[in-house]
Amino acid sequence: MTVSAPGKLMLFGEHAVVYGYPCIVTAISQRLEVSLSDTDNVPGDRRFVDAAIQAWGDGKDIKLSAKCAFSGCYGFGSSSAVTVATLKALRPEAPDRTLFDTAYKIILEIQGVGSGFDVASAVFGGTLYYIKNKAIEPLAVKDVPLVVGYTGIKSNTVDLIKMVAKKREEYPEKLERICKAIGKIVDEAKTRMIEGDWERVGKLMDFNQEYLRDLGVSSEKLETLIGAAKSAGAYGAKLSGAGGGDCMIALASAEKRQSVEEAITKAGGEVVHVTPNAEEVRVEA
């Protein structure tokens, strides 16, 4: 049995989603594969796989191998993808909702924090409007003209979530105001993305980035790549995910794509080619 699950990219609403505001996430073409096999081969952090086997392995001695088409550095969500893929391999018939609940519980037990948006993306695929414990809504979007640039810096999601939480304790009103404003941007982005109004969606990315800057989760390298993409004619750009490093994203028309990609590379970023709106977790064989 081989199962694959997609990686993900946060398009709008990171951090605010932890506090009950909406976000938009898209599943990407780069996938993580898990196979039940005779030999055990799990590169990197085993905790998620072990917890999944503990949950749905019925006490059997289960061996499996995991293979990832993307580097764990990009922030594409390898922990959630491997958890979802392992659970699906153990119980392919389980309903999506049960799969989501079980995987999210495992992630929370191991990481202690997280909104679950990445788990939802791996389970349901496509592009989702997500509110923690409230909404997992597929969005009918087509041909998102996305450009992705990796900073070369691995960010620590848990630390960044905790940093924002600490700020929220110190300045609760300010943080609430920022998260609320991000939530409004996400709600408009949802409509504009379905309409395919990429120029406006780009503007909304810029607005979202301003608030992420205020939260203190952007970085010099992210700002450099974002600035380069915008100078080269992108509709808009922002960081994607926890911040600190990982990837930035931009939207660019077909005419501008190449110059935006070149600008990101020239500014010291690595362009990662991904296709958004990818399929959910699936049994391959």
Smallest gap from Cβ 142 to ligand MEV, in A, equals 24
Query: What single letter denotes the amino acid at residue 136?
Result: I
Q: Which is nearer to ligand MEV, 137 or 197 (CB)?
A: 137
DSSP 17: G
Part of the chain binding ligand MEV (CB under 6 A), chosen from 32-40, 112-120, 137-145, 259-267:
112-120
Distance from C-alpha of 81 to C-alpha of 15, rounded to nearest angstrom: 20
How far CA 40 is from CA of 58, 63, 82, 177, 252, in Å, comes to: 18, 5, 14, 48, 43
Tell me the window of 14-22, 48-56, 136-144, 189-197 that interacts with ligand MEV (CB under 6 A).
14-22
Q: Which stretch binds ligand MEV (CB under 6 A): 8-16, 58-66, 218-226, 249-257?
A: 8-16
Axis-axis angle for helices 172-195, 157-170 (nearest 10): 130
Q: Is 118 a catalytic residue?
A: yes
**Is the Cβ of residue 25 or residue 141 nearer to ligand MEV in the bound state?**
25
Question: Nearest distance from residue 59's CB to ligand MEV, in Å?
Answer: 31
Nearer of residues 99 and 179 to ligand MEV, judged by Cβ: 179
Q: Which position among 241, 245, 269, 276 is part of the footprint of ligand MEV (CB under 6 A)?
A: 241
Q: Is 28 one of the binding residues for ligand MEV (CB under 6 A)?
A: no
CA angle 144, 31, 139 (to 5 degrees): 35
> In the bound complex, what is the minimum distance in angstroms from residue 12's beta carbon to ligand MEV?
11
Backbone angles phi, psi at 226, to 5 degrees: -65, -45
Binding range to ligand MEV, per CB under 6 A, among 84-92, 94-102, 110-118, 260-268? 110-118
Contact call for residue 17 and ligand MEV (CB under 6 A): yes
In angstroms, rounded to a whole number, what is the distance separating the alpha carbons of residues 204 and 207?
5
At what angle are helices 257-266 and 220-231 packed, to 10 degrees?
150
Query: In this complex, which beta carbon is closest to ligand MEV, that of residue 78 or of residue 157?
Result: 157
* Chosen residue from 3, 5, 9, 18 binding ligand MEV by CB under 6 A: 18
How many residues are there in the chain? Answer: 285
Q: Which of residues 137-176 bind ligand MEV (CB under 6 A)?
A: 157, 161
Instruction: Specify the 3-state DSSP secondary structure of 11.
Output: strand
Write the CB contacts of 197 (distance below 8 Å, at least 6 apart in sequence).
none
Q: Which of 12, 21, 70, 117 binds ligand MEV (CB under 6 A)?
A: 117
* 14 counts as binding ligand MEV under rule CB under 6 A: yes
Among 10, 55, 119, 185, binds ligand MEV (CB under 6 A): 10
For residue 115, state whether it binds ligand MEV (rule: CB under 6 A).
yes
- For tokens 């039940």, name the residue: 36
Query: How many CA atoms does the CB half-sphere of 11 hold within 13 Å?
Result: 34
Angle at 133 between CA 169 and CA 124, to 5 degrees: 125
Among candidate residues 40, 101, 118, 206, the one labeled active-site is 118
DSSP H helices in 63-215:
78-90, 96-111, 117-124, 157-170, 172-195, 198-215
Active-site residue set: 118
The binding site for ligand MEV (CB under 6 A) comprises 10, 14-15, 17-18, 114-115, 117, 157, 161, 241-242
